[in-house]
Structure 1
């Protein structure tokens, strides 16, 4: 154990959050804002005090790191777990990030990306997890003002759980078309995915049914013209990618990894380039092929 406190310990003491119960309350408060799925997922008491002791050999899981960075803007998770030289009573300030590389894609707002070398087609950003992606590009920045949204995957939580019903209603009434392709909750492949994630039988199927029903309820509140712009289909095939296509210009793709929840998988952001075949075109074709084979959800 180091004889110096970690920066995290110093910052928590300044906020009177050095106790496990107080910290967990703050953890859940921050999680509610940026990733509601993480509410209640904070560290155990033993884990928490290991965080403060400086005994960790590696950083905590990515979800924990993202919550900590949201708690302490300006500090990275790596910096928070380093020994602090200023003493427990010293008030540290975040380092300046003037030299950080922050390039914005041409149409997707607020994505913090690294410049990519030639040969990476139309990829404009890569995130280590979906939760990190959502932190940089929350759903309202993706969907607000969109004219066409196409999505395929498992339960489509990005739209169904993280985007307000009222905002989706307004989009549809204003002329936006929304096409949602869910993994069939009664099919064989969702059962296989539950086993792969070590989820209880029926867990993912229930979540998917709930999301489908949520969209159908929104449909009942729409005008006749807007109802026609909301389309819901299901497919029963091997689960490979979560695909979101916005306005024939932007595409977000996440592979489904074995033994990992969807929020833990890497996320790629692509921008369509006129006259150039890239990954945007590849994944758009994947979506369209699956959509054509899918079954429409009816009453």
Structure 2
């Protein structure tokens, strides 16, 4: 399947939907490419993409999606390609053309789609309610009440509860001295409690306007070794995950050429591998 970001389809969800596919495919694509592209803020008019994916059928009707096998996204002048590959004896992952993992320690955003940055990190911002200048130690994303909020990295819940002007707030601890904070939530996801472990991309709560808030939004904060940092800057510095092992690089390159060959062969129709539901 191919698509383009334009004035009438300014989000990945809209572009995928206009091609006749479901929102779940857009969510899966965002999971694959979320370490490289912030789909909330990085998309530009004229961006384009191609994707090869599995579709499960039941009695010749759509039932569900399987894996994204290959994806190419042209974003603001750069091309990002992802190949799904399973090293012998390892777990499946997504890699760029050089065999570098596309998985980052942190996702670019705790919201998958469409919200906008309404207030940036600042040491001296006029507070919209209190009417005084004070530090804003996070990034505000405007989004509708109930929008899913996901963990940007694997971690452990430090706290999940009411926190004064921050309203319902979740605090997560990650490796490397990092902590993340998610403020003004309307609700917590099931099983989010102190001590619980969470996975990258896992639903942890939903956007709200609890505490001191003028409307529904997510205030997302990032701390390292006790100091709050600008998430939009710090996320760009995150190193990639483990590359394809050197001894398997030849296998990866062969799989990359094979899978992108399938994508190139079907440019005018949805690039889909159809699998009957229940098939092995």
Name the TM tier (shorter chain): under 0.3
Report which of the two structures shows the higher radius of gyration computed on alpha carbons.
1
Question: Hey, which of these two has a bigger chunk of strand by percent?
Answer: 2
Larger relative contact order (Cα-Cα within 8 Å, sequence gap ≥ 6)? 2
* TM-score after normalising by structure 1: 0.26
